[in-house]
Every structure is written in C-alpha cells, then in structure tokens.
A and B are shown apart, each in its own frame.
Chain A
Amino acid sequence: MPRVTELAVTVPALDTLAPATQKWLGARTETRTYTAGAILALEGDPPAGVWVVIEGTLRLRLMSPEGREQVVAYLSPGDWAGLVPVLDNEAHPATVDAVTPVSALWMPREVFGELLRRAPGVSRAINRQLAARVRGLTRMVEDLALRPVNARLARFLLSNAEQRPSVHRWTQYDIAAHIGTVRDVVGRAFRELAREGIVRRERGRLVIADRAALERMAQST
C-alpha cells in the first residue's frame, strides 16, 4: 500500500487530498516499477486505469506499420498517464512505455473515477495537465505541418540543450521520432550543421557551437 502522503511531494495533485481520502486512496492503489523499455499499454489497448509517475520517464509514442515512430509526449514525475482512454472510455491512442526505470502509482479506472468525485482539487489539477498537453500537441502540429525539418531539429536541439545540464542521452533515432522524420535525415542534418560550424560532433556529445545561427534556423519557415 503506497504512502500517499509521501507521494504528494512528487504528485502535486495529491497534496490537496483530505487525510481520509488519502487513506482511502492508499488502500486502493499500488506502486508499480518498470524496467527501461517496458510497455505499460499498447496503442489500441482498452482503458484499465491510470499511472502517476513517481520516478523516471514515460513516453507516449505512435508507430506506423513500417516501423516509423513518432513521440507524442514524455511524462515526468507528477505527470499522469492513461488519462485520455479512461476519461473518454476509448482505446489508448498511443503506446505508453518506460524510457528509463520507472516507479509509478497505478490506479484502476473505477478508483480514478471515484477520486475525481471525492476530490475536486484533483480534477482541477488534471484539467490543467490536460490543457498543457493540448497546448504541447498544438505546438507539435504547428512544427510538423508548418516548419521544415531543419527548423524542427534546431528547435529540438535548443530546447534540450537548455532544459537540463546534459543528463539525458539521445540517439539520432530518438530525435527523428521526436521531430517527425527518419534517422537518415537527422544524420545528414547533423553533418551539415557540423560542416557549417554550428555544432560540433564529439564522442558522446553534440555541442552547440553557434547558438545564434541555430536560433535563426529554428525560426525559418
């Protein structure tokens, strides 16, 4: 039985729960751990419940029959996964898998439904999270539909070089799945950027050498 009071530190939505509701929730949920690469739900699976990420990173992704991937979102501690199928009672729209080892609070759908009725604060927090995701998806559609691949790559590099001090390792394949292209294209783009001195390709790292040039590329249409 997870200690919901401890989880409230990483899951802001749970810190609004009354003690009695925390106790009720703790008796009906469990903490599950997943190894990196584990699949939590496949695209098309029926809704069974939701996960709240405690540690690690989950990924929502789509895959074509030919094996091409598109990442829809990454979920970090405090994020909820599986919300859409539970809320609209339809199949999972994307596959949910673990990018890193993950610890998550698993909540069966009926418990989640009852939680929303008991705790309006949780509903509001989830609404905010869904709104943020719609905003993120809108930006993704804008990128994919209106920006050339080099601009999308530039925005990706700028965004991920800023967000953290180099903890996450990427592959060209990951980046291609994130920006809606294939690995070959990313590889060619990196070689071109390196030739122009905008990036340096070194063992184990890609270094942004000319940020201003990359920012101009990110704005190109």
Chain B
Amino acid sequence: MTCQQPTVDLAKCTGCGACVPACPCGAIALHDGIPVFSCGDACLHDKSCVALVRCCWPCEDACPHDAIRCAFLIETD
C-alpha cells in the first residue's frame, strides 16, 4: 500500500514540536525547528506494525497550528 508523507505548511508551523511525541512510531524529528517525517522508513507495512495500525494522523491532530496535512484515501470495507 502506498502512503504519502505528511506535508507541513511552513507559514503556519512554529516549530513547537507537539507533533513529535504524538507519532506512535517516533517517525518525526525537528530539524532547525521544522518537523521532518520518516514515516516511510518507520512503517514495516505489516499488520503488526504500529505505524500501519495506529498511524491515523496523530501528528495532524496534535498540531495546534493546523500546519500538518495528511492525505488519505476514502475506501469502503
């Protein structure tokens, strides 16, 4: 399954770092105050992988400045 990395609106991002602890697999780090995502590397693409199961946009939800956007598909079971 392909998955896109989240994107950051640098005009809104303040570098507060709220997104970093929100990620269930530690795939976010701040570099010079800007979040950098390594979701593709962190995700094992396996049903047991916490990234695959629990990465349901926690970084976007955690951001107090609406700076992170996660793109997703809308599907039915």
Contacts and interface: CB of A to CB of B under 8 A. Distances in A.
| Chain B interface bracket (under 10, 10 to 19, 20 to 34, 35 or more) | 20 to 34
B77 A202 contact: no
B43 A203 contact: yes
Given A187-B60, A201-B57, A203-B52, A161 B74 contact: yes
A194 interface: yes
Contact of A203 (B56, B66, B77): B56
A175 to B, nearest CB: 9
A4 B67 CA distance: 43
Given A187-B61, A194-B56, A169 B76 contact: no
Contacts of B77: 207-209, 211
Interface of B: 1-4, 39, 43, 51-53, 55-57, 60-61, 66, 69-77
Interface of A: 157, 160-162, 166-173, 183-184, 187, 191, 194, 201-209, 211
Given A173-B69, A201-B57, 18 more contacts: A161-B76, A166-B74, A169-B4, A169-B72, A170-B73, A191-B61, A201-B56, A202-B53, A203-B43, A204-B4, A204-B71, A205-B74, A205-B75, A206-B73, A206-B75, A207-B76, A207-B77, A208-B77
